[in-house]
Structure 1
């Protein structure tokens, strides 16, 4: 292990080159106006082919929003003879949109080096995970090491948005991919010295809320204002957040969170009240909090505002993750979860 780590520590130049190649191949989500992960996936697949250690499977998911209607996923597995278990590294290839270019010091898709820091869209989320995995494979090959455990690397699409096109799709196609005694690490979050390991047990949901009212000119008419009704809803659901906080210092943050995050453009003129207002909630619940009662309380608040404002609220899920297993005893030190 010391030999392996020492070798990787000397590969700074290679790490920078890998980052440079990944940054220059944008993989912006179709949901964020991008073309998807295909170009980036092809480059990674070619790198794995030349490395020659792993058996590589490609598992594409259909997605009409992507340019080629496919979201690529790669599963690379190096399982030396006699190994029964695998260390899996799960990474994602997609990145968020860069946003307004005037907010960047340099081109977000050209790697910029400033001292010991790298800048470019996707460097942290999640190219650092991809680069770490590729450096590991390169070190194993260069040093001719036969590890006592297999090495598996998964490169997914849609890691930021719809997991059903990425890790969910892979698990549906190969439900026996992970064995009970495998180790699974998702290098997607951490600190500078690598001392933080995040255990993701909270249940996540992204909720879309449509508020329908009536369109009219702001200065010459009055009526149901869906924008104002949405604002009233957001300002009043804090009691739901408090009720389901379920504090536990084991987690960070140590409570459930219910957060309004995004709204859609809904009106073509500044002097018009829109007929429809759409916004989203990011919900992350502690393991002992059920999603259903939270949604019931949010919908009850919405019904109250509907009567007051003469609008209509409609709730729908953009994404929802399954509940984590419930443990009856103390959390085992060797428990792992995605």
Structure 2
């Protein structure tokens, strides 16, 4: 009978330690036994998993997929054994989180100390990026993302939703004037993203006219960036006008560092923020307690900086 759990552990150790010999020492078996086990997995699956060289190991795409899932399984086995031995079901082990930069900056990072104090067995590995994330490729347990979700194979829990505003600094408006109609944005420097081309147009709707159609107007400027926090800093510095969510710039608006404009044409669209994770049959305790913690600590709805 094939002991696939043992095979997975060997494969995971090889990848984590970077060599067959190092994995063999950690597992108290010979390097040839490690090599044979990995070869046996490859032969059974019919695909190469590891590209071998004299200096290092490199995973194939199939190897990356197997490593991600095998690592989770091995970690769950180890956690289960520790729980049984200690009589506790305390979540333990590494938790890899990839978060949107604005959300992490203003909401996640401030509450991380509290989460880790409540869960001393967890080691948090946090990566920040506004780019879309492939959870398996990035080896992330949880990703926090803004906008509409498209991958139906993932589990998602909505953390909050936030309205959006066209904003700029008093410095900018003192120099270039305040637009009173969306069409006037054509003569203003509008800041935009270089990662989401659909945001090259901003939506507007005349709120005084119930029958008014939703308009999507193209905007342009001399600066693009790949994340919302950099855009916020550029707007604060007076470089131009941006369209950002209240969860991100609400405090700046409240304290007068940024000013909203064109509110009579604000269409009232909401930006959702979700925690997404792979929908395993048996969800890791680490993932469960983290997502539950966020849901408890994050306000459900934010309008111009006011949580509710």
TM-score bracket, normalised by the shorter chain, equals under 0.3
Normalising by the residue count of structure 2, what TM-score does the alignment of the two structures yield? 0.27
Q: TM-score, normalised by structure 1?
A: 0.25
Hey, which of these two has a bigger chunk of helix by percent? Answer: 2
